[in-house]
Structure 1
Amino acid sequence: MLPRVLLRLFALLLCPVLLSACRHEDAPPLDQQLYIWQRQWTPAHAEALAGSRADFSTARVLALQAFPQAGWSRARIDAGLLKQDARPLIAVIRLDGQLPSLDQDEIIRQVQQLLTDWQEQGLALTGIEIDHDAGSARLAAYAKLLERLRAVLPSHLALSITALPAWLDSRELPGLLAKVDSSVLQVHAVSDPRQGLFDPRQAEQWARRWARISDKPFYLALPAYGVALLPAAEGAPLVESEAPLRRRGQRQELMADPEQLSQLARTLRNDPPPHLAGLIWFRLPLKGDVRAWSLETLRAVARGDALAGQLGIRLEEQDGLFDIRLSNAGNLDQPLPEQLTLAVAQCDGFDGLGGYAAQLRDGQLRLTRQQSGRLAAGTSRAVGWARCTKIDQGAAHVRP
């Protein structure tokens, strides 16, 4: 037996490890919320809202925007869907960072009018969020706006702001955060997008630094989307996101990596910075949104589920005509594979579909990808057809 002194020393060393393991195991899940950022709502919002309700507690909805020259514009929301959804609702007012100045009187008038209009439509707000990518030199003026706005807002409405990591070095930041109830630290696409949409290590460092600035609750805004970069005549490339740009040119596609985000969420869940209240995902994906994760993948990441794609070939036959479909039975969106191969017999017609070209040689039907793309989790797409006496489902192969 070990001497009693050594046993006590061993216990003292082991205890923190055991407590840490228990704490990680019992760590409460972080609150998960969603940005709804479409400027014009479509029938696809009904399915997306219904599918997201169980996993995301709160909807933060783009409501109002102000841009230089273009002025003010309202997002065309569907108030009926939001009332039916019945989640806590936060209206987001976007003040473009390139505005030459903040007209406090006009901003307050616009916000008050928005509140009145939404109330008349039966929408009960729980908060207002101001999204203003101000430069650090303008934070003092921004704080004055927020102070005035807080004074005129109903007391039951929480006031929050979207915030930038670049503000971390500003002496004005503590005073700014004192004017609001909470902040949303945006840790995606904050620098040159050519460097990528997201750096998980940098995001965690920013979050832990932010937690030391103020004791107010804060959230992290995380990416669940992609963009395309288009070459510009000079300077930084143009960024194409949910709205297509009417411009020709080779597009470089960038997509936030679900597995990176899942790992970061797990780290924050097990060892959260002080005052971290939750995660807000940008943005609610609609059916057909090619630059957003599927809702299936977004839900899996939010839940902390293990992620895996599961590509396969599915055949649908009628009177010798085979429809060839590529399916993804997993919960992780997958890039379209480079080639699909099927063993066939006596084919008198075939063709590729959905970005694939078909070729028949030596009893093998090959479907070769002609353009890049993704297959959303839980979906399938037609990639070809063939009229053959036989296609051997068991001899079908997918090559990444």
Structure 2
Amino acid sequence: MAIRSGHGSSNIIGKLWRGLFALPACLLLSCHSQPIAPVQTVDPTHYDSFFLWAGVKPPKVLDQAKSVYLLAGELRKDDASHIVPLRATPQTQGEDNVILWLTIRAERLDWKESTYQQLFNQMQSWEAAGNHLAGLQIDFDAATLKLGDYAEFLKRLRQRLPKRYKLSVTGLMDWSSGDGPDGLRRVSASVDEVVIQTYQGRVTVPDYTDYREKLSRLDVPFRLALVEGGEWQEPANLESNAQFLGYVIFLLPQKL
């Protein structure tokens, strides 16, 4: 039976009951609600880790870099035996704090013995020039349902890669959904990190918010790659995720 309010003591009782029911709800909201981060335009000056692709002139912001992923070459569809060089050996001897990753863009996974030897020779050349080389990164567009095949390739690569080098891969946002997590676990068995790209080409993917909240499913060390000038809204609890290693900014050619 509903308690009426507005008349004498019944009004007090009504307020008391409403208060008793309302209090747990308020406590529940205060305990579990998370502030929503604002939507931001990605400004490279706020970060210290970057992707520098071939053809992009190093911008001033690299002076603050702690780590840089440099596209060094491509293994193209028409030739599995040779990596096409895209960059001269970098010279960072005086920049002791800058950690480099040698990135290879791969369009196929059936690498030849000559491909591996060419790659490892290039990595040794980078180190011989005085660079602090963390390891190798593979940039390959592996479909979510094909992650098992990709995992087999990475397993073979990891076995060949000198143990002093780490292994990184780029990944797609939908790896965190559907059948992605199972395949991703197989991938993670061979790699030290996955860098999840939130963009396609030079723009943020329109539906990135659909995948953003699923990042908590990732049971693998990961970074998030944001495109310069793109959109980003940080999901709740991201910074407290033990697997989250930070952001990497994909730098674009500077406008004249």
Change in 2 beyond 3 A, CA 1:281/1:209: same
In 2, distance between residues paired with 1:68 and 1:38? 18
Give the 3 Å change call, closer, same or farther, for CA 119–57 of structure 1 in structure 2: closer
**Do residues 152 (structure 1) and 160 (structure 2) align?**
yes
Instruction: Tell me by how many angstroms 1:217 deviates.
Output: 1.4
Whether 1:109 and 2:125 are equivalent positions in the alignment is: no
1:1-400 equivalence runs, <5 A? 6=19, 10=23, 13-14=26-27, 17=30, 32-39=48-55, 45=58, 48=59, 50-54=60-64, 56-69=65-78, 71-77=82-88, 79-80=90-91, 82-85=92-95, 86-96=97-107, 99=108, 101-103=109-111, 105-136=113-144, 138-165=146-173, 167=175, 168-170=177-179, 172-189=183-200, 197-199=203-205, 202-212=207-217, 214-224=218-228, 258=229, 261=231, 264-265=232-233, 267-268=234-235, 270-272=236-238, 274=241, 275-283=243-251, 285=252, 289-290=254-255
Aligned length: 227
Q: Is the 8 A contact 1:32 1:278 kept in 2?
A: no
- RMSD of aligned Cα (Å): 3.7
Match of 1:350 in 2: none
| Identity level (%) | 22
Task: State the SS of the aligned residue for 1:220.
Answer: strand
Q: Give structure 1 stretches of 5+ with no counterpart.
A: 25-29, 191-195, 225-257, 291-375, 377-400
- Closer, same or farther in 2 for the Cα pair 1:62/1:117, shift >3 Å? same
Distance 1:211 1:62 in 2: 29
Any conservation in 2 of the 1:88–1:126 contact (CA below 8 Å)? Answer: yes
- List runs of 5+ in structure 2 lacking aligned partners: 1-11, 38-45
Higher strand share: 1
- Counterpart of 1:150, as a letter, is R
| Greater fraction of residues in helix | 2
What is the alpha-carbon distance in structure 2 between the residues aligned to residue 18 and residue 150 of structure 1?
44
CA distance in structure 1 between the partners assigned to 2:66 and 2:33 by the alignment: 28
CA distance in 2, matches of 1:126, 1:67: 24
Shift of 1:141: 3.2
Contact residue 188 and residue 223 of structure 1 kept, 8 A: yes
**Which structure would you say has the larger Rg?**
1
Find the aligned partners of 2:27 and 2:143 in 1 and give their Cα distance: 48
